[in-house]
Amino acid sequence: MNHWSKQLKEKLDTRTARVSIVGMGYVGLSLAVELAKAGLTVRGIDLDLERVNLLNRGETYLVDVSADTLAPLVAAGTLSATTSFEDAESADAIVICVPTPLRKGKEPDISFILSAVENLLPRLRQGQLMVLESTTFPGTTEEVVQPRIESLGRVIGDDYFLAFSPERVDPGNKRFTTANIPKVVGGVTAECTELAAALYSHVTSSVFRATSPRVAETAKLLENTFRSVNIALANELALACRKIGVDPWEVIDAAATKPFGFMPFYPGPGIGGHCIPVDPLYLSWKIRLTGYEAQFIGLADQINRNMPEHVVTLVSDALNERAKALRGSSVLVMGITYKADVNDIRESPALEIVEMLMKKGARVSYADPFTPQLALDGHKLAAVTPTPEALAAADCVLILTNHSSFDYAAIADRASLVVDTRNALKRYRGSKKSIVTL
């Protein structure tokens, strides 16, 4: 260890290090809370002034971070937020947790990473550690971020330290959280890896040291490609089972009794969130640059992205069987967020489904306790309360997100027709012919 690494390691070990986290969304805020709880001083940097003001008042905007947890940290001065990058100059460690979406052509968009790095460059100093957590294509840390830092005359592994550690936040998951999910870290040098591991050891007791940032970057993409492919298999199973008159959920439950060699995945109206619809395409894009086409990834993406259209067809066919046209029929959509009990609509298949229904002339309303307002294709919608009267008045009730607060007994009892894409009405299907599933 040289002077700079020894100094930083001591600060990390004694919890006297100051940490700046760029991006205070699900990933950044969850990490900030855990580091602050461990006793480190954390400053969040976010361009959203409303979000910054909420944090500095100890108020939360995420379902996974309670005000009871956040407020004491803010009051103690161990956690605060700002819109200014100036704070990064006094930080010992900088963690970048910004979004990495796709461009319209399904190519990686790392503009948020580039913007963060460019804003940080004038504030960087010797002896700092920078960790990129944003999911991105293999090579980003060493091919994109490292040259920019080295342009300042810094020597990575000597007087500046750089690593990648993929985020593993699962919104709404009460069992696995930032505090108990193992972390993977891959530094540009072995010294970088050890310093990053020292930082994350305050968050979790399990740190896997990868031999390079490229390995850590690829591991993250594999995790969500695995999920995408298996969800696609479950969705294709649902389509196939519909043809042969078999219940796909019962098939999966039966297969899941096998204690080895099988992991259950379930069909749904499509894929959503900030990871599964995006990450596999980051991997396939990078692979394509070598001249190889990752066909399996592309096929899974195609199957998953076709599910919203399949759901709209189910609604249309179900109404048609009851001598009603989709155009002019009232459809009450239950759930807009991409998964149950979270306030995140990013890439939610419900958005595409609602748009398709409206374009086909359906009169769409929606209920979602986490999404009070919705703007789609020039239309502004406000959430309605799914009262028994509202359920009975709808020509079709369409369950897209199985929020725990929904009264499924009332839906089964009062709705004249239900299209259930989440198997939420499993217990009622035996006695109700008005329930249509995937």
- Taking only the tens place, the pLDDT of each residue in 40-59 is 999 999 999 999 999 999 99
327 and 379 fall within a common domain: yes
Total H helices, total E strands in the chain: 15, 15
Does 381 fall in a domain? yes
270 and 169 fall within a common domain: no
Does 225 fall in a domain? no
354 and 424 fall within a common domain: yes
383 and 274 fall within a common domain: yes
159 and 254 fall within a common domain: no
Provide CB contacts within 8 A for 103, sequence distance 6+.
109
Q: How many Cβ atoms sit within 10 Å of the Cβ of residue 61?
A: 15
pLDDT greater than 80 at residue 433: no
pLDDT at 398: 98
Across 227-245, average pLDDT? 97
pLDDT at 377: 80
264 and 211 fall within a common domain: no
Helices (H), 121-212: 140, 146-150, 190-200
- Provide the CA 278 distance to its chain's centre, in angstroms: 10
pLDDT at 169: 86
pLDDT at 107: 94
207 and 76 fall within a common domain: yes
Does 223 fall in a domain? no
Q: Which of 170, 196, 215 is the last residue of a domain?
A: 215
185 and 258 fall within a common domain: no
> What's the CA gap between 268 and 236, in Å, rounded?
10
| Backbone torsion region of residue 365, taken as left when φ is above 0, otherwise alpha when ψ lies between -120 and 50, otherwise beta | beta
102 and 143 fall within a common domain: yes
Which residue type does 433 have?
Answer: K
Given a contact cutoff of 8 angstroms between Cβ atoms, the answer to whether 30 and 53 are in contact is: no
Q: Percent of the chain beyond pLDDT 70?
A: 100
Does 221 fall in a domain? no
pLDDT, one tens digit per residue, over 388-399 is 999 999 999 999
Does 193 fall in a domain? yes
Given a contact cutoff of 8 angstroms between Cβ atoms, the answer to whether 51 and 61 are in contact is: yes
Q: Which residues pair with 45 in a beta bridge?
A: 22, 82
pLDDT bracket for residue 171 (50, 70, 90)? confident
> CA nearest 38: which of 170, 175, 179?
179
> What's the CA gap between 30 and 330, in Å, rounded?
40
pLDDT at 192: 98
Across 135-155, average pLDDT? 97
DSSP structural state of residue 141: I
pLDDT, one tens digit per residue, over 314-334 is 999 999 999 999 999 999 999
pLDDT at 378: 82
Helical (H) or strand (E) element with 397: strand 396-399
pLDDT, one tens digit per residue, over 367-382 is 999 999 999 988 899 9
Q: Residues 97, 192, 241, 275: which is the catalytic one?
A: 275
Residue 344 is encoded by which pair of tokens? 């995140």
Q: Which residue has the higher pLDDT, 389 or 173?
A: 389
Provide CB contacts within 8 A for 262, sequence distance 6+.
255, 256
pLDDT at 274: 87
Domains held by the chain: number: 2
pLDDT greater than 90 at residue 431: no
Domain containing 174 equals 3-215
Pairing of strands 183-187, 207-210: parallel
- 192 as an active site residue: the answer is no
CATH code of the domain in which 384 resides: 3.40.50.720
Does 347 fall in a domain? yes
Average pLDDT value over all residues in the chain: 96
209 and 252 fall within a common domain: no
> What's the CA gap between 327 and 315, in Å, rounded?
11
203 and 314 fall within a common domain: no
pLDDT greater than 90 at residue 174: no
pLDDT at 138: 98
Does 40 fall in a domain? yes
pLDDT at 154: 95
Residue 338 is encoded by which pair of tokens? 């991409």
Does 391 fall in a domain? yes
Q: Give helix 213-244 / helix 248-255 axis angle, nearest 10°.
A: 120
pLDDT at 430: 78
pLDDT at 125: 95
Across 198-223, average pLDDT? 97
252 and 208 fall within a common domain: no
> CA nearest 213: which of 144, 161, 163?
163
